[in-house]
Structure 1
Amino acid sequence: MLFRAVLIVSLCVAVQSDYVIKKYCRNVVPTLCSIHQVMVEPCLHGPQFCSFIRGKPYGIKVDFTPHFSAENLRLEISGDHLNSDSYDVIKTTKRVCDDLLVCPLEASVRHNFELSLSMDIPSPGKFPVQVKLWNEDDESQACCFTFHAKVK
């Protein structure tokens, strides 16, 4: 009986989280970073886009390999909720090395990080979300990708 309950819960979690279709950001050199996988939990309607309910917490897991080393990192999540190629900040993390990753970040070493995100965008709709991680000492060294979200 316990096995069945664990199996059902596992299947429910697997259905709610999904790898999203991601694209490299246009304004960042894509050869500086390999983005292997991005998972959003929960992600209804994935992998094309994830539906978010405003104010509810969601988890993002990123599996990547930077092709640069860094001592100090910044992370910013932004959204183009007006679909005008103008991204507004959704979340900024100043202490990436203390909270999300072990630093110094080594070049060509695969890393993972997880973070929590709440979409508090003022207007509902479907739009791209950009996740950017960069070296504070050389802003040209960055990992950046986008995925699509729909906020209800």
Structure 2
Amino acid sequence: MLRTEKMYLRLVCVAVLFLAATAEVANHEPCNDLSPDALNSCTVSQVRITPCANPKDCRLVKGTTAFIDFDFTPNFSASNLTTGLFWEIGTVDVEFGDLFQTNGCDYTACPVESGKSQVLNYSLRIGLKLPIGKFVFKWKLWNSANDKEICCFKTAVELVKRKK
């Protein structure tokens, strides 16, 4: 391995360790508006958001990027996944910008196997035009072949202005 490749590999390792050390496990709960079959089709064991100083209510600064990753175990097998992020507003799910009906295999390994735990990683740009305030993010990941096999969780976030 060349000297520059070794330095690059070390830099990447340090960056990954830094992100892992600064990531905060966020409180989350399963989505409660799914069918009984869908509720049992996946388990989300942990959600990490960087930066997130308060696991009960993560503060995300507009104009920055947040890193979201979560561990999930599907109770189904699928060759392709679809994913989407939503704002939960009452009983309505509103699509969150660019991450709506997106190829989930871009962010986690596919195919997925029933009972095999894996991680989904996503970097979320918090746009300047988004409103400030407290919101519930709802993340869905589902089998592209049907709408019945779904992973879904909710987490509270607060969008704030960047300090001047």
TM > 0.5: yes
Q: Could you tell me how far 1:35 is from its partner in structure 2?
A: 0.8
Which residue number in structure 1 is paired with residue 140 of structure 2?
A: 132
State the AA in 1 paired with 2:46.
Q
Match of 1:19 among 14, 21, 25: 25
Residue 145 of structure 1 pairs with residue 134 of structure 2: no
User: CA separation in 1, counterparts of 2:20 and 2:121?
Assistant: 17
SS in 1 for 2:52: coil
Match of 2:95 among 73, 89, 93: 89
Long gaps (5+) in structure 1: 1-8
Which residue number in structure 2 is paired with residue 105 of structure 1?
A: 112
Contact 2:84–2:139 (Cα < 8 Å) also in 1: yes
Residue 77 of structure 1 pairs with residue 85 of structure 2: yes
- Normalized against structure 1, the TM-score is what? 0.82
Which residue number in structure 2 is paired with residue 39 of structure 1?
A: 48
Match of 1:50 among 34, 54, 58: 58
Q: Could you tell me how far 1:13 is from its partner in structure 2?
A: 5.7
Contact 2:73–2:118 (Cα < 8 Å) also in 1: yes
User: CA separation in 1, counterparts of 2:61 and 2:20?
Assistant: 19
Q: Could you tell me how far 1:105 is from its partner in structure 2?
A: 1.0
Q: Could you tell me how far 1:87 is from its partner in structure 2?
A: 2.2
Which residue number in structure 2 is paired with residue 117 of structure 1?
A: 124
Long gaps (5+) in structure 2: 1-14
Post-superposition, which runs of at least 4 consecutive aligned residues in structure 1 deviate over 6 A? none
User: CA separation in 1, counterparts of 2:52 and 2:44?
Assistant: 19
- Normalized against structure 2, the TM-score is what? 0.76
The share of aligned pairs that are identical, in percent, is: 27
